[in-house]
Structure 1
């Protein structure tokens, strides 16, 4: 997760003093709703109260210009939208729009690693020292399990002053993604591995590097062969630069009373890579989370390890209900039941993808501005309330 802190303006014109790691009115069009099979043929009814929740979210002064929520129940899909996916044209968000999925990319690196565990290429007890001996000796005892569950103690490279200085001077700077950990190579572990939980972008960089080390293949190729192709994800990718494939959901910096500023392509993703650089669509993100959070992608043995949760440890930003951390996945215990998923935020975007444990139902919820516990916490609180209402609709609907 990358967060823009407010302050002086970058050369791009974006309000920011730094890109710091931790986890990014009159233009609104009438609310939209696009359903799959309707009530006449047995499909779910459009819920007016859910639509009103979205309408109120985008009507807030600091709220997103647009929002899209996609609920899938087996072969039936409902799409709820409010506001706009592009303030210049006024068009609504669409389920096939490309968008930055932010830290949900960590679930993809988890999928790669856990599929390699299923293949016997990796073990959850394998260490950084075994596969990445060039990394600092102090890190060598950290295991794959600890990386996937954010209990490694690795310092977060994206909070490094040098990293932030480079990115602040040139948000399009092309980093060597495989050398991102160099920014914190001189720092000690934050705590004894396994003793505490600390969400860190460094963890999933190390996961991807371990996957490359044991296979001799590029992480991007592993994503293609182990995740995209088996799930038929044709519009999901891990780009290097700052451009988004067309069409895309535009992301905005919202700082009233100024007009929302389009920052969709302000930041290059080479500096976040396996921790947050993936681009997907609401439709494909739903297909992924149903497979990864459900039983379709992993063996029963590996899935049992994946779903061993640490109570109280939250995704970033926190998802609906009470959060608990598994291996590159979170448990969201809502008032209506349990979902498995992941969240994320990046400049211009805040994301949630969640599924029922059986993998038959999913919710993706995307807004085109950034919120987190350190950036617009009141908006995040409102967002989590709306997300829980949608989660209840997913869990209770037929």
Structure 2
């Protein structure tokens, strides 16, 4: 959660997406081969500290594997059930809670947010719930504020204030710009509508009923029992440059908040996405809304150097050789995460570093896409 400037490599690294060009990096579906060989190459040749991958088909786990280290000084091997900070995948959980409230007729997608939260927000009479979900509100990202300190402790009100101190990017509904302020505001709306904090609603509505035993929504900066340590390097990988710097807690949980604070495992995130896209959490008509590309999103990502990506309501959308993928991607100090579904096949791929050259980001997502597209 650092400043997100309109420079393509920085943007790709920090807004919760990876430098992923479907047209160039995904390639054609590959014949079946050993996924462990591919991920061991990321560790042995490219210098990634550790990686964990979980694949499922029609809700049944088909493969889980890991390579490298979860803790470099302790020489602790990475395991498929290790926990990671999942960064912007948090947004998909938050969007799901918001859409459940829509299902319960406690919110509507196209209602203005004026009166829904105590904090002052510019253009609140024009900004709708939908525009927060799909990043067309125009609200500036709080992490772009020069006064933002990712290691400090914040309340949601303080994060929103950091965002609205800056001029809006554009009038509501007239453009697309990814902004974590949108999801901080959504978290506060959930609080006002339900009387419970967003992390409590995610726990009650999603974590508990889906039995996501490795998933937490921390409000204080702690390290989960099975969490892989997160690392950065002097220069993006490959090759390794300088020692591995442990940044597991460099971004505080409260600074990430409703936009990026959650911790989870590959298996849990895989189960959540499967439940969401199969219709287990709300009606198909709202899933269709989530999957509808937002006008302007593809141009925004193309300008950032990641053509082919679009965005719906809390979901990333991208073509693959075997169909349209829906899912979520995350990037925070020391961690890179992705979970995607094509048809009923899913793959979650987590790494304990976000020090990656654009080409290596493309390679890791290409591995995930090929795993999605190869037979059983």
Range into which the TM-score falls when normalised by the shorter chain: 0.7 to 0.9
Worse overlay, 266-275 or 70-79? 70-79
* Correspondence for 1:182: 161
1:353 and 1:364 in contact (8 A); partners too: yes
Q: Is the 8 A contact 1:66 1:82 kept in 2?
A: yes
**Alignment equivalent of 2:134, drawn from 131, 149, 158:** 149
1:328 maps to 2:326: no
CA distance in structure 1 between the partners assigned to 2:33 and 2:50 by the alignment: 18
* Partner of residue 23, structure 2: none
User: Which residue is equivalent to 1:69?
Assistant: 53
- Structure 2 equivalent of residue 386 of structure 1: 364
Root-mean-square deviation (CA, aligned residues, Å) is 2.7
Q: TM-score, normalised by structure 2?
A: 0.84
Query: Out of 81, 99, 102, which is 2:84 matched to?
Result: 99
Task: Quickly say closer, same or farther: Cα 1:315–1:343, change in 2 above 3 A.
Answer: farther
**2:134·2:311 contact (CA, 8 Å) conserved in 1?**
yes
Residue aligning to 1:268 = 252
Q: Which residue of structure 1 lines up, in the alignment, with residue 71 of structure 2? A: 86
Gaps of at least 5 residues in structure 1 are 6-19, 25-44
Shift in Å at residue 314 of structure 1?
A: 7.1
1: CA distance, partners of 2:212 / 2:64: 19
Question: Structure 1 residues 182, 236: closer, same or farther in 2, change over 3 A?
Answer: same
Distance 1:380 1:206 in 2: 31
Residues 195-229 of structure 1, C-alpha deviations (whole Å, 9 max, x = no match): 21111110100111111111222212211222112
SS state at 2:350 partner? strand
Give the distance between the partners of 2:15 and 2:268, measured in 1 at CA.
26
Structure-2 separation of matches of 1:133 and 1:88: 46
TM-score of the superposed pair, with normalisation by structure 1: 0.80
Deviation of 1:136 after TM superposition, in Å, equals: 3.0
The CA distance in 2 between the partners of 1:304 and 1:95, in whole Å, is 31
What is the match of residue 208 of structure 2?
229
The answer to whether the 8 Å contact 1:103/1:345 transfers is yes
Paired residues, number: 347
Aligned to 1:112: 97
Q: CA deviation at 1:135?
A: 1.6
1:302 paired with 2:286, answer yes
Secondary structure of 2:147's partner? helix
**1:349 Cα offset (Å):** 0.3
Q: Give the deviation of 1:322 after TM superposition.
A: 2.6
